[in-house]
Amino acid sequence: MQETRLDTGRIRAARRVIDPIFLDTPLYRCEALEPDLGCTVSIKLETANPVRSFKARGTEVVTSLLADKGPRAVVCASAGNLGQALAWSGRGRGLDVTVVASRFAPAAKLDRIRALDARLELVDGDFDMARERAAAVARHDGIRLVEDSLDIETCEGAATIGLELVDTVPSFDAVLIALGGGALATGVGHVVKAWAPEVEVICVQPQGAPAMTHSWRRRRVVTTDSTDTIADGVAGRRPIPAVLDDLLLVADDAVLVQEASIIAGMRMLLDHADLVVEPSAALGIAAILEDRDRFAGRNVVTIVCGSNVDVDAYHRWIGAAPIHGS
């Protein structure tokens, strides 16, 4: 395999600085899903932790380096999950954290960022506008800008999920990965292709936020003017060139799925796995639903990457009865 920006030694070292609460997450076969999907399905569950997503694997690496020798203040743009993760990791290491987000982000995500003692700045626009504002704050205040997917620590933190997949001596032949900015896909993809190259790495993105998938297919950065998807966690418009370069080396395919399939995937994960997940986490199931013939009889693992969902919106989407305790 050609070289990506990621380094195997650093990925192994990342496990030593990430709080163990985020490591060795459950990986299990979910037989209840299989009759409807027509294949063997295993779940890698990244939601049972204090920030309810995989993002802290990367922010733990970032903040551990800053706590050793970097600036004591950081800023990031976030659709919600990275901000929570950076706030959690930064608070534990005595860093001042600012998160820039869209005021249209799910209220639950914004409330949890505030609860973790981060300073929250809202912009009247989408995630890419928040990225621009976070960069301006970093320049003005002279603090560290944490850019998800561009900062290699975020990718190598996410890559530790790949280590846990391949260290199980994989029985699966395909891994389905939500594709947004690309940290999860390039991180897990790098490790899988290094240690289990026969496993197919399939990235999944909503049709309403297709920029990275179009970029992968055309082998050049393709931007879009807008996004239209409930999967806010992967709704970027402007792929980062260096991340695309890595993705081109590790992804075997990138597919787009419809909103109805995302909602159906969320409902299936609730009905058959008792999992309340955000839309981005259901992308893998959606991909199977849309192309059952491709996956028929195969052994597939999907990464359930986050569960930070607005409860009212969730109930509207899936038409579920109120979740007990929510």
* Banded pLDDT at 169 (limits 50, 70, 90): low
91-110 mean pLDDT: 94
In 154-199, DSSP assigns E strands to 174-178
* Banded pLDDT at 68 (limits 50, 70, 90): confident
Q: Which residue type, as a one-letter code, is found at position 234?
A: V
* Banded pLDDT at 320 (limits 50, 70, 90): low
pLDDT of residue 170: 62
190-199 mean pLDDT: 96
pLDDT of residue 131: 94
Span 288-306, pLDDT tens digits: 999 999 999 999 999 999 9
| Residue 322 reports pLDDT greater than 70 | no
CB 42 within 8 A of CB 29: yes
pLDDT of residue 1: 62
Tokens of 301: 């693992």
CB 37 within 8 A of CB 285: yes
Cα dihedral 253→150→157→289 (10° resolution):
-30
Question: What's CA 299's distance to the chain center, in Å?
Answer: 22
Span 265-293, pLDDT tens digits: 999 999 999 999 999 999 999 999 999 99
Residue 167: phi, psi to the nearest 5? -70, -10
* CA–CA separation, 165 and 301 (whole Å): 9
pLDDT of residue 264: 97
59-82 mean pLDDT: 92
Number of H helices, E strands in the chain: 14, 10
Tokens of 39: 């294949």
Helix (H) / strand (E) element for 290: namely: helix 283-290
pLDDT of residue 91: 97
